[in-house]
Chain A
Amino acid sequence: DVKVTQSSRYLVKRTGEKVFLECVQDMDHENMFWYRQDPGLGLRLIYFSYDVKMKEKGDIPEGYSVSREKKERFSLILESASTNQTSMYLCASSFPPTGELFFGEGSRLTVL
């Protein structure tokens, strides 16, 4: 079974703190994604990566950066957390031939 693992299920941070969200997949997928999900807004793409050290901005990249140093790992970084970044963050990887997205269990971030 494909496994996408996110490092933290629940985090509470203070405004201005730096936040790292880690994601690891074990299926050698090339494409990885970071989404945030908010009530009424659905899933919105923050960044995606189609190869090591490659990244593309999604729909809402402001306030976020990413790192992909190894194929299996895709990290989301909030340089200076703000209260409007309180959300559920979902990492995913995809298998291009079928197009199926495999999600991690999500990281619920609260910024106080």
Chain B
Amino acid sequence: RKEVEQDPGPFNVPEGATVAFNCTYSNSASQSFFWYRQDCRKEPKLLMSVYSSGNEDGRFTAQLNRASQYISLLIRDSKLSDSATYLCVVRDNYGQNFVFGPGTRLSVLP
């Protein structure tokens, strides 16, 4: 079983749609959780950290369920510019190793 698993995708959605990505992790000792965004042929960049209480940044909402070892990302009112691959990332309890999920590709269509 992979340490971090994500929806296989791709997701093709129309502009304005709401889309949700799911991620599960296997290491119950994991301490920190993130969503990264990677545009085609570019490096990954931090989209948002994920906190236990859930957090929101504009149209993006991240949730964490430690009991189920599950992380989600919700994007509301999708824009064309949201088209990218979204990577779920988990940091271990020593804070030095980041484990990446395989990513879920999103295409927002006009």
- Chain A positions near chain B (C-beta within 8 angstroms): 31, 33, 35, 40-45, 48, 50, 56, 58, 90, 94, 96, 98-101, 103-106
Contacts and interface: CB of A to CB of B under 8 A. Distances in A.
Interface string B20-57: 00000000000010101000001111100100000000
B87 A45 contact: no
A44 B2 CA distance: 12
B interface, size bucket: 20 to 34
Contacts of A42: 87, 100-103
Contacts of B95: 96, 99
Contact of B97 (A58, A98, A105, A106): A58
Main secondary structure, interface of A, reads strand
Contact of A98 (B36, B44, B49, B103): B49
A41 B98 contact: no
Given A90-B43, A99-B49, A100-B46, A43 B87 contact: yes
A99 B90 CA distance: 10
A26 B97 CA distance: 21
Given A43-B100, A99-B34, 17 more contacts: A42-B100, A42-B103, A43-B87, A45-B97, A45-B98, A45-B99, A48-B96, A56-B96, A58-B97, A96-B95, A99-B32, A100-B34, A101-B36, A101-B89, A104-B43, A105-B42, A106-B43
13 contacts: A42-B87, A42-B100, A43-B44, A48-B96, A48-B97, A98-B49, A99-B34, A99-B98, A100-B34, A100-B49, A101-B44, A103-B43, A105-B43
